[in-house]
Amino acid sequence: MARRVDHSPDELKVMILDAAEDLVMAGGVSELSARKIAQKIGYAPGTIYNVYTNIDELILILNGKTLERLYDHLSMVRLDGEADIGSANENLEKLLIGYLAFIDENRSLWRLLFDHVPSSEDDLPEWYNQRVLKLLSVIDQVLLPLLSGRGAEERRDVSATLWASLHGIISLADKKKLDVVISRSSHDVCSLLITTFLNGLKDHADFTGKIQ
Amino acid sequence: MARRVDHSPDELKVMILDAAEDLVMAGGVSELSARKIAQKIGYAPGTIYNVYTNIDELILILNGKTLERLYDHLSMVRLDGEADIGSANENLEKLLIGYLAFIDENRSLWRLLFDHVPSSEDDLPEWYNQRVLKLLSVIDQVLLPLLSGRGAEERRDVSATLWASLHGIISLADKKKLDVVISRSSHDVCSLLITTFLNGLKDHADFTGKIQ
DNA sequence: ATAGAATAGTGAACACCGTTCAAAATTCAA
DNA sequence: TTGAATTTTGAACGGTGTTCACTATTCTAT
């Protein structure tokens, strides 16, 4: 057949993406399949492959969208402008609350974002990496006042360390792999980590091993 | 057919488990399938379901085995007995090195251990939880001298927090989701976290919000 | 020794999955 | 109006987990 005039390729691409998003939101990651998307938009499965090279590419773009939505969500958080540890702690706590709220409202998309490992081992595309960096810049800004003496790269390493640590707690808790081992909510555990981490950043050996 | 006399049910269970382990080690998590296991041990696929209720149960038991092997690996690490932060740091660094070495030698099994989410949402069995706790006790012991003033439960929470944080770093790095964001090896990042965390544990508000 | 119950193992079948691609349907250009 | 170009199809391929009627074998009891 040919162009059913119904939808341009670009429209189709969006329709497929939206259908995928709906499926994941409504039924979890396991509901995402080419056939179900096709059924939802009233096309044949093969049509998806005219517009996306494969399902991994579709997921990548969907994850990019989730990343963007997460950034939008977190940049709404009102941050304190003071440069002391107390303010940084409060700010990080606010970000944490925002992040946990986002996860709560977008649990399945968030799982897809972090748990999905694409079959191919190619590097992620530049536009995707940019979004990750943009997201991390939110934490970076909060830590900036405390790390003004250090270089941009080292600062980003510190932010990323904190971020990855929080992610570890939240994702293990989500997978129910912390239940045995911990008696508190992941929120409380994250708060503890933030406080301890910030406290630990004071006057100790930095990344390069020098004392500040 | 009946008992081919070849193997008792218990033998069969072990054979299947070993075949599964071999498949994962040799070709990654995606190589694990009922048909491939069956082929490897010279039985029909259905036989597996006479001995395991489903593949998730098989994976759970395999993960239990990996957990046990990881514990054995880590309990070989010689730890310093001093009670100061420096010793704790050294000890954790040694454990980290041991852990990273284990991952290096058992990457696919380790991925199966942490990434696999069973379809059913039942709680994990008690014997499995015990193994997780036993593993965590290794970190617990190292932190014990620094947290002697706190209760056992709170100490375990602190250990689990550190553990989950390290896991977050290592597993994000493994999924190549830190490459953009960080310039160092996951080993270095983990070392930074350990140092900062230990430093931060000194004289700051504890889990309950009180100052020590 | 033989009949029958119990057990062990089978493998085709079911309902899925991602992906491909020759063919068909439609539109556009000449 | 014809023919080229394009879009869409859906059957087909090779895979997945899981089930279950059936068969083959062994054990038990007569």
Q: Is residue B211 part of a domain?
A: no
Let me know whether A73 and A45 are in one domain.
Answer: no
Range of the domain at B188: 64-201
Considering the domain boundaries, does residue A68 fall inside one? yes
Contacts of A169 in chain B (CB under 8 A): 161, 164-165, 168
Kindly report the nearest CA distance between residue A152 and chain B, in angstroms.
11
Q: Does residue A184 lie in a domain region?
A: yes
* Residue at a domain's end among A32, A52, A72: A52
Same structural domain, A99 and A35: no
What is the band of B2 on the pLDDT scale with cuts at 50, 70, 90? low
Q: What phi and psi, each to the nearest 5 degrees, are found at residue A121?
A: -105, 20
pLDDT value, residue B81:
87
Distance of A44 CA from D6 C1′ (whole Å): 17
- pLDDT (0 to 100) of residue B6: 78
Which residue is closest, via its CA, to the C1' of C6? B2
Q: Which pLDDT score is estimated for A57?
A: 98
Same domain as A78, residue A169 = yes
Residues B121, B24 within the same domain: no
Give the CATH number of the domain where residue A6 resides.
Answer: 1.10.10
- pLDDT at position A3 is 60
Same domain? For B87 and B188 the reply is yes
- Asked whether B133 and B71 are in contact (CB, 8 A), the reply is no
Q: What is the pLDDT of residues B17-74, one digit of tens each?
A: 999 999 999 999 999 999 999 999 999 999 999 999 999 999 999 999 999 999 999 9
Residue A202 pLDDT class (50, 70, 90 cuts)? confident
Report which of A77, A209, A80, A85 is spatially closest to residue A147, judged by C-alpha positions: A85
Of B157, B196, B198, the CB nearest to A182: B157
Tell me whether residue A114 is in a domain: yes
Percent of chain B with pLDDT over 90: 83
Distance CA A49, CA B69 (A): 44
pLDDT category at B4 given cuts 50, 70, 90 is: low
**Looking at the structure, do residues B31 and B78 belong to the same domain, yes or no?**
no
Does pLDDT of A99 surpass 50? yes
For B101, half-sphere exposure in the C-beta direction (CA atoms, 13 angstrom radius) is 12
The answer to whether position A174 is within a domain reads yes
At B161-198, the pLDDT tens digits run: 999 999 999 999 999 999 899 989 999 999 999 999 99
Residues A115 and A20 in one domain: no
Q: What is the mean pLDDT of chain A?
A: 92
Split into its structural domains, chain B has a count of 2
Q: Which of A43-52, A65-74, B27-36, B74-83 has the lowest mean pLDDT?
A: B74-83
Please tell me the predicted confidence (pLDDT) of residue B7: 86
List the CATH number of the domain containing A142.
1.10.357.10
Asked whether residue A210 is domain-assigned, the answer is no
Give yes or no: residues A28 and A103 share one domain: no
